[in-house]
């Protein structure tokens, strides 16, 4: 299986992902998605939205502001507890996440590090809202999209008349001032999440939790992740966040070169049963209960976040099942799982066998001879017609010989290449080449759209 280094190199070479602020030496923990990266990432998000919103009857969407009232983070518990343990080395003066650093690691100043005692470091990015930068204007960039869903629960409920069970989905940026961002887009300071808060009646939560774990696992495998590279990991009671009744993490084999197989896997998504913890924190007259047992009564919230259950004639606080995925980690997993190196007649080829729905470009139209006006014009025409009629991202490329053009499209995962040649001018047919099998078929120009639609499906 491909390692991270090869993926990083491909991403830069072909314009998927670049170091953030590269021109000025970079900004640690930030990455920019290039021309192909933005297409791939958008396709990942679209495939998620399609499955979890459009193809279900029990979901609504939402898009909240990233900046939120500070009180959201007071009553969610983030101000008090959203921290990682940090240590400083007294010798090299560097900072590390205590639970991730090897105490025997060599210090750049010689011998082993000399660490301070661990202390909590809050991961939220602080900022101020408005022209006066004092404490009263302090707020944070959201560290998860979830809180926006909880505080909008009543707005969505009232405006849609939904009955339990139903869910709210949101995709958006989140920010965490990670102590040690690392491993490319795996752990970064600015990232995107795809989160669902699925509201259910208490007592049905375990069953819904199980359903969502299966549903989410299948999403990855249906889009091409090999099941042997994806694992379900049920958190042990001592690992659970204090508010979670159960959590199953989906772990992908991000680090295949690690010797210990268990260490090859890390989280791409977590599916938690959060009970009524969040709605209790944010409801009028509710309270936040911290892990150490301290209680913070909510004296600021304006609305009750309850649901009227007509069966029991009671107002209840729904339970929440939360499938929470990282867009960047999912994108990385799809890139890694689709990467292949193959020996073919004319040498080696690198090919991204991406699911067509995820492929940044669906069809490339290539003229056999770029200096033949008839061939060139026909190719351009085919590209424009396909793009307009089907909406597929279709490109025209004449910047190299046909062999090189095929290799280029293979390496970026384009499922189909159409070649326009001299026969095209005679009989109005083109060659359609399949990325994975490299087989070629002759298809009439008039029949192209239907032919490709049969293969590309829902793209």
The residues near 102 (Cβ < 8 Å, ≥ 6 apart) are none
Asked if 398 interacts with ligand GAP (CB under 6 A), we say no
**324 binds ligand GAP per the rule CB under 6 A:** yes
Encoding tokens for residue 343? Answer: 């020996």
Closest approach of ligand GAP to the CB of residue 423, in Å: 49
**Interaction between residue 247 and ligand GAP (CB under 6 A):** no
Note whether 176 binds ligand GAP by CB under 6 A. Answer: yes
Decide if residue 248 touches ligand GAP (CB under 6 A).
no
Residue 44 binding ligand GAP, by CB under 6 A: no
Q: In terms of CB distance, is 60 or 267 closer to ligand GAP?
A: 267
Q: Which is nearer to ligand GAP, 113 or 176 (CB)?
A: 176
The least distance separating ligand GAP from the CB of residue 357, rounded to whole angstroms, comes to 20
Q: Which is nearer to ligand GAP, 187 or 362 (CB)?
A: 187
Residue 266, Cβ neighbours under 10 Å: how many? 17
Q: Which is nearer to ligand GAP, 265 or 392 (CB)?
A: 265
Considering only residues 39, 178, 278, 421, which one is a binding residue for ligand GAP as defined by CB under 6 A? 178
Our CB check for ligand GAP shows the closer of 277 and 396 to be 277
Residues 233 and 249: beta-carbon distance below 8 Å: yes
**379 contacts ligand GAP (rule: CB under 6 A):** no
**268 contributes a contact to ligand GAP by CB under 6 A:** yes
Stretch that binds ligand GAP, among 51-59, 95-103, 266-274, 332-340 (CB under 6 A): 266-274
Can you tell me the distance from the alpha carbon of 235 to that of 272, in angstroms, rounded to the nearest whole number? 10
* Six-digit token string for 215: 């549903």
DSSP β-ladder status, 246-252 and 266-275: antiparallel
Sheet with 266-275, side-by-side order of all strands: 59-62, 166-175, 190-200, 319-326, 266-275, 246-252, 230-234
Query: How are the residues of the chain apportioned to helix, strand and coil, as percentages rounded to the nearest 5?
Result: 35, 30, 35
Outline where 152-276 has alpha helix (H): 153-160, 205-222
**Which parts of 184-223 interact with ligand GAP (CB under 6 A)?**
187-188, 191, 193, 195
Distances (CA, A) of 222 to 129, 219, 227, 330, 360: 43, 5, 10, 13, 18
* The pair of three-digit structure tokens given for residue 115, joined into one six-digit string: 């660490």
Q: In the complex, which residue's CB is closest to ligand GAP? A: 326
The footprint of ligand GAP on residues 124-153 (CB under 6 A) is 144, 146
Structure-block tokens of residue 449: 């759209």
Cβ proximity to ligand GAP: between 269 and 357 the closer is 269
Burial class (CB in 10 A: 0-12, 13-18, 19+), 288: buried
By CB atoms closer than 10 A (0-12, 13-18, 19+), residue 314 is exposed
Binds ligand GAP (CB under 6 A): choice among 326, 360, 367, 415: 326
- Give yes or no for a contact between 394 and 360, defined as CB atoms under 8 angstroms apart: no
Q: How far is the CB of 6 from ligand GAP (least distance, A)?
A: 20
The number of residues that bind ligand GAP (CB under 6 A) is 19
- 88, 267, 309, 411: residue in contact with ligand GAP (rule CB under 6 A): 267
Q: Tell whether residue 357 is a contact of ligand GAP (CB under 6 A).
A: no
How many C-beta atoms lie closer than 10 Å to residue 339's C-beta? Answer: 20
User: Is 328 one of the binding residues for ligand GAP (CB under 6 A)?
Assistant: yes
Q: Between 53 and 350, whose beta carbon lies closer to ligand GAP?
A: 53
Does residue 84 interact with ligand GAP by CB under 6 A?
no
Q: For residue 87, give Cα distances in angstroms to 27, 79, 114, 126, 247.
A: 22, 20, 10, 21, 28
**In the complex, least distance from residue 256 CB atom to ligand GAP, rounded to whole angstroms:** 18
Report the distance separating Cα 148 and Cα 161, nearest Å: 19
Q: What is the spatial distance between Cα 43 and Cα 456, in angstroms, rounded to a whole number?
A: 14
State which residue, 31 or 406, has the beta carbon closest to ligand GAP: 31
| Binding residue for ligand GAP, selected from 148, 172, 270, 415, defined by CB under 6 A | 270
If the CB atoms of residues 268 and 368 are measured against ligand GAP, the closer one turns out to be 268
State yes or no: residue 39 binds ligand GAP (CB under 6 A): no
Which residues lie near ligand GAP (CB under 6 A)? 144, 146, 176, 178, 187-188, 191, 193, 195, 267-270, 322, 324-326, 328-329
């Amino acid at each position: 299986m491909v390692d991270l280094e090869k993926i990083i190199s491909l991403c830069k070479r072909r314009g998927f992902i670049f170091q953030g602020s590269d021109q000025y030496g970079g900004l640690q923990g930030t990455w920019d998605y290039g021309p192909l990266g933005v297409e791939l990432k958008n396709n990942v998000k679209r495939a998620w939205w399609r499955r979890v919103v459009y193809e279900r009857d029990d979901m609504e969407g939402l898009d909240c502001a990233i900046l939120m009232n500070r009180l959201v983070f007071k009553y969610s518990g983030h101000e008090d507890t959203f921290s990682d343990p940090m240590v400083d080395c007294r010798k090299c003066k560097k900072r590390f996440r205590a639970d991730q650093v090897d105490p025997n690691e060599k210090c750049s100043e010689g011998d082993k590090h000399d660490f301070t005692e661990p202390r909590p470091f809050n991961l939220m990015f602080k900022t101020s809202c408005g022209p006066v930068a004092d404490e009263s204007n302090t707020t944070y960039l959201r560290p998860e999209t979830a809180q926006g869903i909880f505080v909008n629960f009543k707005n969505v409920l009232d405006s849609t008349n939904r009955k339990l069970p139903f869910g709210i989905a949101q995709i958006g940026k989140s920010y965490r001032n990670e102590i040690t961002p690392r491993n490319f887009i795996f752990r970064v300071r600015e990232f995107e999440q795809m989160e669902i808060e699925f509201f259910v009646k208490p007592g049905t939560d375990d069953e819904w939790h199980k359903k969502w774990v299966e549903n989410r696992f299948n999403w990855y495998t249906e889009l091409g992740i090999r099941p042997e590279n994806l694992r379900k990991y049920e958190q042990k009671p001592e690992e659970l966040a204090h508010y979670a009744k159960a959590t199953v993490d989906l772990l992908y084999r991000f680090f295949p070169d690690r010797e210990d197989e268990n260490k090859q896997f890390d989280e791409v998504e977590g599916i938690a049963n959060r009970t009524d913890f969040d709605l209790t924190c944010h409801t009028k007259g509710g309270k936040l209960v911290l892990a150490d047992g301290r209680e913070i009564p909510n004296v600021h919230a304006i609305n009750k976040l309850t649901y009227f259950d007509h069966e029991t004639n009671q107002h209840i606080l729904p339970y929440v099942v939360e499938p929470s995925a990282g867009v960047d980690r999912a994108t990385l997993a799809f890139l890694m799982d689709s990467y292949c190196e193959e020996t073919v007649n004319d040498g080696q080829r690198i090919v991204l066998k991406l699911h067509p729905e995820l492929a940044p470009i669906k069809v490339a139209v290539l003229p056999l001879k770029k200096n033949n006006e008839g061939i060139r014009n026909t190719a351009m025409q085919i590209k424009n017609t396909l793009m307009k009629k089907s909406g597929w991202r279709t490109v025209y490329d004449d910047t190299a010989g046909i062999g090189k053009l095929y290799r280029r499209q293979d390496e970026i995962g384009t499922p189909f290449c159409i070649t326009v040649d001299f026969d095209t001018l005679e009989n109005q047919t083109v060659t359609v080449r399949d990325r994975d099998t490299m087989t070629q078929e002759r298809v009439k120009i008039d029949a192209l759209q239907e032919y490709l639609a049969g293969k590309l499906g829902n793209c």
